[in-house]
Structure 1
Amino acid sequence: MSDRISIDPAICHGKPVISGTRVLVSTVLGALGGGDSIETVLADYPTITREDIAAALLFASELSDYQQTDYTTAK
């Protein structure tokens, strides 16, 4: 994944977390999407850094880079 995001079946049921914490990437993204500022998220989760939040955003960006392939014409 990355050095800041980890997925381990033994931690939080294998959901992506900020490495070294049990802070779910989805929790960080949900807070930001709900209108919380980065400063608020950092205050709410003091074990994460601004760089961790940037990694969570990059992770979401990479996951959302969905491309549709037309399998009827693809060879």
Structure 2
Amino acid sequence: MCERISIDPHICHGQACIRGTRIPVHQIVRMLACGDTIKQLLTDYPTLRREDIKAALDYAASLA
């Protein structure tokens, strides 16, 4: 698993999240699928970095 993704049973019920945040991977993927841009995500979540979004997509793709 990527160092930017964490799974902790005590954070967000064990869902895969961006490390150091409570932003679940599935939320990033869903927002992009609904048409939000990377720029919008970075504005909505100022703690996110482009590398976090890429890691979330890579993680989601590894599950498919």
Task: Please indicate, yes or no, whether the TM-score normalized by the shorter chain is above 0.5.
Answer: yes
Q: Is the partner of 2:36 in helix, strand or coil?
A: coil
Q: Report sequence identity in percent.
A: 53
User: Whose Rg is larger?
Assistant: 1
Following superposition, the deviation at residue 23 of structure 1 comes to: 0.5
RMSD across aligned positions (CA): 0.6
Scaled by the length of structure 1, what TM-score is found? 0.83
Higher RCO, Cα 8 Å, sep 6+? 2
* Partner Cα distance (1:26, 1:56) in 2: 8
The answer to whether 1:25 aligns with 2:21 is no
AA at the equivalent of 2:26: S
Any stretches of 5+ residues in structure 1 without a counterpart? 65-75
- Report the Cα offset of residue 2 of structure 1: 1.6
Separation (CA, whole Å) in 2 of partners of 1:27 and 1:5: 13
**Stretches of structure 2 lacking an aligned partner (at least 5 in a row):** none
Deviations 1:19-70 (A, max 9, x none): 0000111111110000000000110111110000000010011110xxxxxx
Larger helix percent: 2
Structure 1: 4+ residue segments shifted above 2 A? none
TM-score by length of 2: 0.96
Partner of residue 10, structure 1: 10
